[in-house]
């Protein structure tokens, strides 16, 4: 029993004080990734989250799917899903939760944090105070947990603000911005007209519905709006839509999205319950009779508030021109996506304005720390970017990818006893880039340094190497109701011949083009190299298409079949790493109408979209190819790239090789402490974390079963049921050997064994 008599003084809550290497404030995907990467790099980390669950907008409290450069597979950014830890998290979620249950995703994130011994997690803890060592340095942050009535004081040499609103940076006095810049400041033609469009993006709130198999009545609360049918945006609603398909239920862009956030939320509640009243009781949606309102969000998804200034501010031209930065550490690829400030009440023609780049762009390290507060990292949507560039960098997988940068950067700062700004020097930045890429970050144009990988000096012999002479004619037919193209890695100065099979409904003409991208690192086929027009008679027939000496450089090319709905083309069930079919179709989820045609004066490119279909659709086009494509050899191992980039970068075994083997040997005995193998987890697939399900729980390209042996034939590892892209083996003691043998099983009958990279340290 506890009995305390009257105390004339104010009682204080319990206070606990902690010292750590890195304090991360904010438990969204950016903060989670920063904390885990730092912890795995040996730092002691305290992760402070003001909500009861991790994940931020991706959590079950908000239920927004996480997306990034793949953009719902609706842009030209091929093989661009974010790598490293966030890819590991997404693959884990796919294995357990391909249906997209947001509650399960909560547990995936919590487990990842829980398993890290170096992380101390404080949930339900709001940071409300910052103490400083001096004008330019943070000493501690203080937060209060409402659930255990405890105040936590966290001291650290380094801090990461991943809080969304930038509460730490704000209280610490860091330079920040809120709202849109003028078009002149960064020469941004897409900068909005503030009076008309507004300069802040609003919040969104979602609901979920459930069919209970019998009629359900609904009476709206008194605060619900009564005229939902008059909302300009109600036209976006389609029967059955729920969750983040209701992203357009947005409000608050003309208000203070920080201090008026609760008012914005209540207005959104009025709208949400009013919309459901309209659906249930207007008579216009009879299909809703058996639906009940299962869940309504209590925390809105917030898009925008403060943005903090680093030593570099990303802007529109960095994205559109894909400018190179010496300190590139991350990449983005979502459209520059701005929304009218009036949201659900806006009479603007569109609920958002999205302009895509032709390919991915890099983000400099200098965007990830404050230019004023010398021990403060910036993570998530608050990084150093203009309002226009923020329209792209704000999405969660891009934020998570940046969070990984901070986790690794913090470890290097502690190791070298330097501050975040110092790490941006050319003397240190390569160390950060290498450390990130070894963990799968895949920074564009920056491979893993060969000098750090023992495999680079080894002789590698494979039991087979795939040569594509035939993509088998064993699949379905695809009608050319939209133009289609087979992406193939071709060599320069060669004469190629392609034999395909078509089915023609009536006499017609087929136009076939060979295309490539203006920049060979892109997958935007704007350059037409050759054109063939072929007259066809009704019936099934083989075609031979020849293109002589069309390519001046080795590159990906697009064998393109223009739209003709009288023609169907034969497909193949076989899928190959780094080979893909794309279509000049429409993807309404990302404002893709087949071609991007922006106004001439806003500095955005006009181009066609050529995008893939989601599995099980999107089969390769069946064909015979002369000469054979030989881009899948062991020479790709050790080149430092761990996904398709400029070429396939993968060793792929032939389909006929039933037990593919890699033999890695050195002239002299090597001492190996760690082995990493990078498999194909299909970086082209947009792996939304919630709501949108996926066709399988393991990516079909990913090797499941394999064995690693030393030079004595002893089994070091026997792996079963792998589903992750990166497998890391830290040997209990250094292994001295002149040879490693890896024996694989094919992942499936329709995908051969493929490996991007083997690293040995």
pLDDT digits (tens, 9 = 90+) for 396-440: 999 999 999 999 999 999 999 999 999 999 999 999 999 999 999
Phi-psi region of 378 (alpha: psi -120 to 50; beta: other; left: phi over 0): beta
pLDDT digits (tens, 9 = 90+) for 72-129: 999 999 999 999 999 999 999 999 999 999 999 999 999 999 999 999 999 999 999 9
What secondary structure letter does DSSP report for 234? G
Share of the chain above pLDDT 70, in %: 100
pLDDT digits (tens, 9 = 90+) for 665-710: 999 999 999 999 999 999 999 999 999 999 999 999 999 999 999 9
The runs of H, that is alpha helices, within 14-139 are 29-40, 85-97, 102-114
Q: How many helices (H) and strands (E) does the chain have?
A: 10, 41
- Whether the per-residue pLDDT at 263 is higher than 90: the answer is yes
Q: Evaluate whether 679 touches 705 at the Cβ level (below 8 Å).
A: no
**How many whole angstroms from its chain centre is CA 292?**
33
Task: Quote the pLDDT of residue 27.
Answer: 98
Task: Quote the pLDDT of residue 260.
Answer: 98
- Whether the per-residue pLDDT at 593 is higher than 90: the answer is no
What secondary structure letter does DSSP report for 297? -
- Read off the pLDDT of each residue in 569-581 and give the average, rounded to a whole number: 98
pLDDT digits (tens, 9 = 90+) for 310-320: 999 999 999 99
- Whether the per-residue pLDDT at 756 is higher than 90: the answer is yes
The runs of H, that is alpha helices, within 115-213 are 167-172
pLDDT, mean over the chain: 97
Q: Evaluate whether 338 touches 197 at the Cβ level (below 8 Å).
A: yes
| Tokens standing for residue 517 | 């991208």
Task: Quote the pLDDT of residue 68.
Answer: 97
Task: Quote the pLDDT of residue 585.
Answer: 86
Task: Quote the pLDDT of residue 590.
Answer: 85
Band of the pLDDT at 349, cuts 50, 70, 90?
A: confident
Task: Quote the pLDDT of residue 280.
Answer: 96
CA dihedral 26, 30, 33, 39 (to 10 degrees): -40
- Read off the pLDDT of each residue in 10-32 and give the average, rounded to a whole number: 97
- Read off the pLDDT of each residue in 613-627 and give the average, rounded to a whole number: 96
3-state secondary structure of 109: helix
Q: Evaluate whether 619 touches 573 at the Cβ level (below 8 Å).
A: yes
| Tokens standing for residue 759 | 């690293």
Axis crossing angle, helix 29-40 with helix 102-114, rounded to the nearest 10: 30
List the one residue out of 750, 716, 749, 752 whose CA is nearest residue 732.
Answer: 716
Task: Quote the pLDDT of residue 591.
Answer: 79
The runs of H, that is alpha helices, within 282-323 are 316-320
Distance CA(275)–CA(289), nearest Å, equals: 15
Task: Quote the pLDDT of residue 550.
Answer: 87
Q: Please enumerate in sequence order all residues whose Cβ is within 8 A of that of 565, keeping only pairs 6 or more positions apart, or say none.
A: 479, 480, 481
Q: Please enumerate in sequence order all residues whose Cβ is within 8 A of that of 194, keeping only pairs 6 or more positions apart, or say none.
A: 179, 180
- Read off the pLDDT of each residue in 557-575 and give the average, rounded to a whole number: 98
| Tokens standing for residue 612 | 């893939």
Share of the chain above pLDDT 90, in %: 97
Band of the pLDDT at 348, cuts 50, 70, 90?
A: confident
pLDDT digits (tens, 9 = 90+) for 499-522: 999 999 999 999 999 999 999 999
Give ∠ CA 385-389-391 in degrees, rounded to 5: 115
Q: Please enumerate in sequence order all residues whose Cβ is within 8 A of that of 638, keeping only pairs 6 or more positions apart, or say none.
A: 450, 453, 455, 456, 458, 460, 757, 758
pLDDT digits (tens, 9 = 90+) for 378-405: 999 999 999 999 999 999 999 999 999 9
- Whether the per-residue pLDDT at 592 is higher than 90: the answer is no
Q: How far is CA 392 from CA 68, 73, 443, 521, 586, in A?
A: 9, 15, 17, 20, 20
Residue bearing tokens 């050195």: 666
């Amino acid at each position: 029993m506890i009995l305390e008599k009257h105390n004339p003084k104010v009682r204080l809550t319990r206070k606990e004080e902690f010292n750590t290497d890195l304090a991360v404030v904010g438990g969204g995907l950016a903060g989670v990734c920063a904390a885990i990467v730092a912890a795995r790099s040996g730092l002691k980390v305290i992760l402070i989250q003001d909500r009861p669950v991790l994940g931020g907008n991706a959590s079950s409290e908000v239920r927004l799917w996480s997306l990034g450069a793949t953009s719902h597979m609706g842009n030209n950014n091929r093989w661009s899903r974010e790598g490293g830890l966030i890819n590991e998290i997404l693959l884990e979620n796919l294995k357990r939760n391909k249906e997209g249950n947001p509650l399960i995703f909560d547990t995936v994130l919590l487990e990842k944090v829980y398993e890290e011994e170096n992380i101390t997690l404080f949930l339900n803890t709001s940071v409300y105070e910052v103490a400083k060592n001096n004008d330019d340095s943070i000493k501690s942050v203080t937060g209060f947990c409402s659930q255990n009535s405890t105040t936590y004081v966290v001291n650290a040499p380094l801090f990461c603000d991943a809080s969304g609103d930038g509460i730490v940076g704000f209280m610490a006095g860091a330079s920040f911005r809120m709202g849109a810049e003028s078009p002149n400041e960064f020469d941004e033609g897409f900068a909005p007209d503030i009076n008309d469009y507004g300069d802040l993006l609003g919040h969104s709130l979602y609901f979920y519905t459930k069919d209970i198999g019998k009629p359900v009545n609904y009476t709206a609360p008194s605060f619900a709006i009564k005229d939902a049918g008059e909302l300009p945006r109600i036209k976006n609603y389609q029967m059955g839509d729920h969750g983040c398909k209701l992203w357009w239920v947005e409000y608050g862009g003309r208000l203070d999205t920080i201090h008026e956030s609760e008012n914005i939320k209540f207005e959104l509640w009025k709208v949400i319950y009013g919309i459901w009243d309209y659906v249930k009781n207007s008579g216009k949606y009879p299909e809703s009779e058996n639906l009940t309102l299962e869940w309504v969000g209590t925390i809105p998804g917030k898009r925008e508030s403060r943005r903090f200034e680093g030593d570099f501010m990303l802007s529109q031209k960095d994205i559109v021109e894909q400018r190179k930065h010496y300190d590139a550490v991350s990449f983005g690829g979502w459209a520059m996506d701005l929304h009218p400030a009036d949201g659900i009440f806006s009479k603007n023609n569109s609920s958002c304005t999205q302009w895509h780049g032709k390919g991915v762009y890099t983000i400099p390290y200098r965007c990830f720390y404050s230019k004023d507060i010398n021990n403060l990292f910036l993570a998530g949507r608050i990084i150093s970017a203009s309002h226009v560039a923020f329209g792209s960098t704000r999405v969660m997988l891009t934020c998570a990818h940046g969070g990984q940068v901070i986790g690794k950067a913090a470890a290097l700062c502690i190791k070298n006893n330097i501050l975040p700004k110092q790490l941006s020097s050319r003397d240190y930045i390569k160390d950060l880039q290498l450390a990130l890429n070894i963990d799968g970050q895949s920074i564009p144009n920056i491979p893993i340094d060969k000098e750090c990988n023992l495999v680079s000096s080894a002789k590698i012999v494979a039991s087979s190497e795939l040569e594509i002479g035939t993509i088998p004619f064993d699949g379905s037919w695809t009608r050319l109701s939209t133009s289609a193209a087979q992406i193939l890695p071709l060599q320069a100065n060669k004469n190629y011949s392609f034999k395909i099979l078509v089915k023609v409904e009536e006499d017609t003409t087929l136009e076939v083009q060979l295309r490539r991208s203006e920049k060979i690192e892109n997958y935007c086929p704007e350059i037409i190299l050759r054109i063939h027009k072929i007259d066809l008679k009704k019936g099934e027939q083989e075609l031979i298409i020849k293109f002589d000496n069309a390519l001046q450089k080795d590159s990906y090319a697009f064998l393109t079949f223009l739209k003709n709905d009288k023609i169907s083309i034969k497909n193949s069930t076989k899928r190959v790493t780094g080979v893909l079919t794309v279509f000049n179709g429409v993807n309404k989820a990302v404002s893709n109408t087949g071609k991007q045609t922006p106004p001439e004066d806003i500095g955005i490119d006009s181009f066609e979209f050529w995008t893939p279909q989601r599995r099980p659709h999107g089969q390769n086009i069946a064909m015979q190819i002369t000469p054979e494509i030989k881009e899948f050899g062991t020479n790709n191992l050790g080149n430092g790239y761990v996904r398709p980039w400029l070429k396939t970068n993968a060793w792929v075994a032939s389909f006929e090789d039933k037990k593919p083997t890699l033999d890695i040997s050195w002239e002299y005995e090597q001492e190996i402490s760690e082995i990493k193998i990078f498999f194909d987890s299909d970086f082209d697939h947009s792996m939304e974390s919630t709501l949108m399900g996926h066709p399988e729980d393991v990516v079909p390209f990913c090797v499941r079963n394999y064995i690693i042996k030393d030079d004595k034939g002893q089994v070091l590892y026997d792996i079963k049921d792998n589903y992750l892209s990166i497998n890391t083996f830290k040997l209990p003691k250094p292994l001295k050997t002149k040879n490693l043998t890896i024996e694989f099983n094919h992942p499936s009958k329709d995908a051969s064994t493929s490996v991007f990279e083997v690293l040995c340290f």
